[in-house]
């Protein structure tokens, strides 16, 4: 492996991963494999319930289905590579594969940011303008908002990745990370990266911080509307529909903003990859659990599905 700067072009990267101790790697591999299986099973179950149950055919669950599908894609981009590195002797990834992983992981992360903002707007319309909800959030509008979330994020990620990969990489080739992520790859460029870092920061403001502001404004309006409600049961119902979304926002945005909207040191920080575990592994696993445990409609749909399954087996 190249550990010193040379005139050679880097053809592969070496992951340091989360630990170099074999026993620790084994424990982590079992833990993250369990997390991955729970993530896939939980999100697939959520998608299945929202598609099959007529009572879940609303804009909120349309966006929730998008989020669940996104979480499966997001975690599948990173976790299998991490498990392969932990369980195998080879800790490397070809430059082209690293580029693909970096593109898709950044794209899916950006999509999640925008989707969470759209979901906050959906809750604002549902609670603050309930009489106009079905008109404002009709099927076409929901599809268009989802399409903008996906397309804008893929395009933004492409621009960032083209700029990142156009830089020369001549060594070292050791990534202090468990997957290829823009900040960690940028640190290995053997040239000035200030322009690329500025572009990453600008896109972070647009794609990450703008939806976050939309979330803050939406929930500020929701809170004011809830406080004006005379019915205590109405207030509880309104807050319960928002609690799950706010929990997901806090988990995802807290770590993503810390990672992408702070000055990037030239030297690698081990803390960055620990933070990355939360928004690439933990949050996708917790999302279906959070929405299921705090949502009576989803729990009701699950009970009805179990009853139908038992009835069909008789």
Residue position matching structure tokens 């959070």? 290
Residue 21 sits in a domain whose CATH number is 1.20.1070.10
What tokens does 87 get? Answer: 């369980």
Q: Say yes or no to pLDDT of 101 above 90.
A: yes
- What is the tens place of the pLDDT at every residue in 181-228? 888 898 888 888 888 888 888 887 888 788 888 888 988 888 888 877
In a domain? residue 6: no
For residue 96, being part of any structural domain is answered with: yes
Strands 12-15 and 92-94: antiparallel
Tokens encoding 137: 């959030």
Count how many domains the chain has. 1
What range does the domain containing 289 cover? 12-313
Q: Is residue 7 part of a domain?
A: no
The beta strands (E) that lie in 143-276 are given as 174-175
pLDDT per position as a tens digit, 3-58: 444 445 788 899 888 877 888 888 989 999 999 999 999 999 889 988 888 788 88
The CA-based angle 96-104-121, given to 5 degrees, is: 165
250: nearest Cα among 283, 203, 214, 297: 283
φ and ψ at residue 265, rounded to 5 degrees:
-70, 150
- Count of other CB atoms within 10 angstroms of residue 301: 22
DSSP string, 10-34: P-EEEE--S---HHHHHHHHHHHHH
Instruction: Examine residue 5 and state whether it is found in any structural domain, yes or no.
Output: no
Helix (H, G, I), strand (E, B) or coil at 191: coil
In a domain, residue 4? The reply is no
- Residue with more model confidence, 306 or 310: 306
- Domain-embedded: residue 47: yes
Record the pTM: 0.86
Judge whether 276 lies within some domain: yes
Residue 17 lies in a domain: yes
């Amino acid at each position: 492996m190249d550990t010193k700067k040379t005139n050679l072009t880097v053809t592969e990267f070496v992951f340091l991963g989360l630990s170099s101790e074999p026993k620790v790697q084994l424990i982590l591999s079992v833990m993250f494999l369990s997390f991955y299986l729970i993530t896939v099973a939980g999100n697939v179950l959520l998608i299945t319930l929202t598609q099959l149950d007529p009572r879940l055919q609303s804009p909120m669950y349309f966006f929730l289905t998008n989020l669940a599908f996104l979480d499966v894609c997001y975690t599948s981009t990173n976790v299998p590579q991490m498990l392969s590195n932990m369980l195998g002797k080879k800790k490397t990834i070809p430059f082209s594969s690293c580029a693909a992983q970096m593109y898709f992981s950044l794209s899916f992360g950006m999509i999640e940011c925008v989707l969470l903002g759209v979901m906050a707007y959906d809750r604002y319309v549902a609670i603050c303008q309930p009489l106009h909800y079905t008109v404002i959030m009709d099927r076409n509008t929901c599809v268009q908002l989802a399409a903008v979330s996906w397309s804008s994020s893929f395009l933004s990620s492409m621009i960032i990745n083209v700029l990142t990969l156009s830089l020369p990489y001549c060594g070292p080739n050791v990534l202090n990370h468990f997957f290829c992520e823009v900040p960690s790859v940028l640190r290995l460029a053997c040239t000035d990266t200030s322009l690329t870092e500025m572009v990453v920061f600008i896109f972070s403001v647009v794609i990450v911080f703008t939806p976050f502001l939309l979330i803050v404004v939406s929930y500020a309006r929701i809170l004011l509307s809830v406080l004006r409600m005379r019915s205590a049961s109405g207030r509880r119902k309104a807050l319960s529909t928002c609690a799950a979304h706010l929990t997901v926002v806090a988990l995802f945005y807290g770590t993503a903003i810390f990672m992408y909207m702070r000055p990037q040191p030239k030297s690698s920080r081990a803390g960055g990859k620990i933070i990355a575990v939360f928004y690439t592994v933990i949050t996708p696993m917790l999302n279906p659990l959070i929405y299921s445990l705090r949502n009576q409609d989803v729990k009701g749909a699950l009970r009805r599905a179990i009853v139908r399954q038992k009835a069909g087996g008789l």
